[in-house]
């Protein structure tokens, strides 16, 4: 059973397996392959200089870079409803206009550059929470948002190291709280990993 509730146009017929470039129908094998390729692409992004400004197109490029080896929809905005647990994410018709609003607001704030740490962290948490609630992609939202945050922080003069969090569940729980309009745990987590 898929972690998503709805049948998906992104899956093979009569299956919960995402259509992939390897035509793998085994979800476990696909996840293993996805992990290998995405870790490689994330490592590649770490050694490259981030786009500046880190605008909407750069955000889409991050998703494309991370998942391009595995999924044909890499870099494309989601076109169907998705949910996890009791959380339903943004309706597809709202994704593009809301994404524009988020990035317009980020541009007005000069991509959080020149902010002291105590102001940078809550603003970063705010933008990450907004992107997470939007969940603009069919797969890879968390990885894309975390890499976006790392690059945005780097452009603003900070280092953000997600790998310093020992339990991935801590990150997930912080984003769940932020989805429910409470950024406190996310801000605390960012406080721990931002230097």
**Could you tell me the pTM of the whole model?**
0.93
Domains of the chain, CATH where assigned:
27-193 (1.10.3290.10)
Q: What is the pLDDT of residues 149-168, one digit of tens each?
A: 999 999 999 999 999 998 98
Report the distance separating Cα 189 and Cα 175, nearest Å: 10
Contact 82, 138 (CB under 8 A): yes
Averaged pLDDT for residues 56-81: 98
The whole-number pLDDT of residue 47 equals 96
Please tell me whether residue 56 adopts helix, strand or coil conformation.
Answer: helix
Q: What is the pLDDT of residues 5-56, one digit of tens each?
A: 447 899 999 999 999 999 999 999 999 999 999 999 999 999 999 999 999 9
Give me the chain's average pLDDT, please.
Answer: 94
Give Cα 124 to chain centroid, integer Å.
13
**Residue 55: exposed, middle, or buried by beta-carbon count in 10 A (0-12, 13-18, 19+)?**
middle
Report the distance separating Cα 160 and Cα 148, nearest Å: 10
User: pLDDT-based confidence at 88, cuts 50/70/90?
Assistant: confident
Q: Please choose, from the candidates 155, 157, 152, 150, the residue with its C-alpha nearest in 3D space to the C-alpha of residue 193.
A: 150
């Amino acid at each position: 059973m898929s972690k998503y509730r709805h049948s998906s146009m992104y899956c093979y017929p009569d299956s919960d397996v995402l259509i992939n470039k390897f035509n793998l129908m085994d979800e476990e094998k696909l996840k293993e392959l996805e992990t290998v390729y995405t870790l490689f692409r994330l490592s590649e992004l770490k050694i490259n200089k981030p786009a500046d400004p880190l605008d909407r197109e750069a955000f889409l490029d991050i998703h494309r870079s991370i998942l391009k080896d595995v999924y044909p929809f890499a870099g494309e905005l989601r076109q169907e409803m998705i949910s996890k647990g009791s959380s339903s994410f943004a309706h597809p018709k709202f994704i593009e206009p809301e994404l524009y609003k988020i990035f317009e607001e980020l541009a007005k704030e000069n991509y959080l550059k020149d902010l002291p740490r105590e102001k940078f962290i809550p603003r970063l948490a705010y933008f990450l929470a907004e992107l997470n609630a939007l969940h603009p992609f069919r797969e890879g939202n968390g990885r894309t948002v975390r890499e976006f945050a790392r690059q945005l922080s780097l452009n603003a003069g900070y280092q953000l190291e997600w790998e310093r969090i020992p339990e991935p569940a801590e990150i997930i729980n912080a984003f769940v709280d932020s989805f429910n309009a409470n950024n406190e745990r996310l801000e605390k987590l960012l406080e721990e990993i931002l230097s």
